[in-house]
Amino acid sequence: MAGHQRYIRYIVFALVALVLLFFISSSSSVPSAQWPSTKYTPSESQKQDETGTVPQVPQHEEGQLNTMPSDTPKANPNTTPNTDGKQLPPQTASGERMNATFVTLARNSDVWEIAKSIRDVEDRFNRKYNYDWVFLNDDDFNDEFKNVTTVLVSGTTKYGKIPKEHWSFPDFIDQDRAAKVREEMKEKKIIYGDSISYRHMCRYESGFFFRHPLMLDYEWYWRVEPSIELYCDINYDTFKFMADNKKKYSFVISLYEYVETIPTLWDAVKNFTSVYPQHIVEGNSMKFLSDDDGKTYNHCHFWSNFEIGNLNWLRSQAYIDYFTSLDHAGGFFYERWGDAPVHSIAAALMLKKEEIHFFNDIAYYHVPFTHCPTGEKYRLDHKCHCNPKENFDWNGYSCTSRFFETNSMPKPEGYEKEQ
């Protein structure tokens, strides 16, 4: 009998010890890991929105059931580190930062799809550079959107609302004519053909995002859309590359535009060039756009859901005159002009051809196309996880071959195998 009681006492004692241990270990998870948190200026590590309020980072509550291992590594005498002579992952890159930001136009409902994009951009690039991220929306961003994106971005996040006059019909647009076009495009099943918001989006990306007050603080931008993927490590500062090599605009995927969305775009461009011949640069990339020296447009464009570019170029008188001229032609509403051909034609005619860069090394996906870098060695060295068979570059619908020819550049080694 006495032995049995002692046995129960042991069990009770063991249970109490276990409960104590549980509370000690779970409360140690409250301070979150500090790696990598170096910011280039401490004052900028605070996240702010336009009104200057600082959203709190959501935290685990004390005593919350947490069966995950603690974030803070503790020395454990019963184990040895398994570093095997290897270095830990590189921390934040040293050196100067460029005057640059990521920029995303999104709705609150895009939160989980942009979260995936941010995760990829951070893992492959920005965790080492901690660049800022500007989010723009025609509506107010909600707390969920701000909370989720704030914790994912390693730099400062900023949230801007688009002024109404940049996201509505200009007064020179005939509403009835625009409505009739949407009806016709719907019948013809043209993608986004009946959408008003998509047209506002294309016009905003064509002519306004770079003039938003939050964007005026920067010289360089990298545009990121929801649901994109990055497939390789990017181990250098792409903004610095642009500056050092005198680049103003860049792309990873190029293709032919749907003709139905831009029937008179080229006419409008020709009207612009005849009024403003001074804005057309010598040594431009006309050969990329036209097979007959400008008479007709071949519909080639750089896909603008990815862009790294120079904001001061977009804010230049030349670009503003170009956008204003196209805007008054009405094609954002009477047709369905996309910001991709609008940006591309501007870059091809108003920049020197050497100022446009093809980032072969940025492996990228936006539905339905993949850019997977040509060259096996590069892919292995940069831990790429894209299937080279899915690379779109040398496909017949891609204009990237034409870009190489325009610039008399040799195509990357091994490209024939990917055609």
* Interacting residue ranges for ligand GDP, rule: CB under 6 A: 104-107, 110, 137-138, 197-198, 201, 225-226, 305
Exposed, middle or buried: residue 323 (CB in 10 Å: 0-12, 13-18, 19+)? buried
| Least distance CB 384 / ligand NAG (angstroms) | 33
Binding partner selected for residue 405 from ligand GDP, ligand NAG, Mg ion, none, CB under the kind-specific 5 to 8 Å limit: none
219/103 Cα distance (integer angstroms): 12
Which CB sits closer to ligand GDP, 40 or 192? Answer: 192
Angle at 271 between CA 265 and CA 276, to 5 degrees: 125
Given 44, 71, 120, 219, the residue binding ligand NAG (CB under 6 A): 219
Task: Check: CB of residue 157 under 8 Å from CB of residue 187.
Answer: no
Can you tell me the distance from the alpha carbon of 75 to that of 389, in angstroms, rounded to the nearest whole number?
A: 46
Query: Which one, 141 or 319, has the nearer CB to ligand GDP?
Result: 141
297 binds ligand NAG (CB under 6 A): no
Nearest to 247 by CA among 333, 381, 359, 153: 359
Cβ distance 231 to 362 under 8 Å? no
Nearest residue to 262 via CA among 318, 353, 345? 345
Active-site residue, 307 included: yes
What's the token pair of residue 116? 């995936």
Closest contact distance (angstroms) between CB of 412 and ligand GDP is: 26
Does position 321 interact with ligand NAG (CB under 6 A)? The reply is no
Q: Does 291 bind ligand NAG (CB under 6 A)?
A: no
Task: Note whether 301 and 254 are within 8 A (CB).
Answer: yes
Q: Which is nearer to ligand NAG, 187 or 267 (CB)?
A: 267
Pick one of ligand GDP, ligand NAG, Mg ion, none as the site partner of residue 268 (Cβ within 5 to 8 A by kind): ligand NAG
Task: Tell me the window of 29-37, 305-313, 355-363, 389-397 that interacts with Mg ion (CB under 5 A).
Answer: 305-313
Cα separation, 37 vs 40, whole angstroms: 10
- Among positions 327-366, residues that touch ligand NAG (CB under 6 A) are 329
| Active-site residue identified among 122, 205, 229, 307 | 307
Cα 217 off chain centre by: 18
Which of 38, 195, 235, 264 touches ligand NAG by CB under 6 A?
Answer: 264
Three-class HEC string of 54-76:
CCCCCCCCCCCCCCCCCCCCCCC
Nearest distance, CB of residue 134 and ligand GDP, angstroms: 12
Residue 197's binding partner out of ligand NAG, ligand GDP, Mg ion, none, with CB under 5 to 8 Å set by partner kind: ligand GDP
81's tokens: 């580190």
Residues 6 or more apart whose CB falls under 8 angstroms from that of 94 comprise none
If the CB atoms of residues 305 and 370 are measured against Mg ion, the closer one turns out to be: 305
Residue 225 as a binder of Mg ion (CB under 5 A): the answer is: yes
What 8-state DSSP symbol labels residue 398?
Answer: B
152 versus 351: smaller Cβ distance to ligand GDP: 152
Kindly list the residues in this chain that would bind ligand NAG in the complex (CB under 6 A).
55-56, 58, 99, 143-144, 147, 217-219, 264, 267-268, 271, 312, 329
Catalytic positions, written as ranges: 307
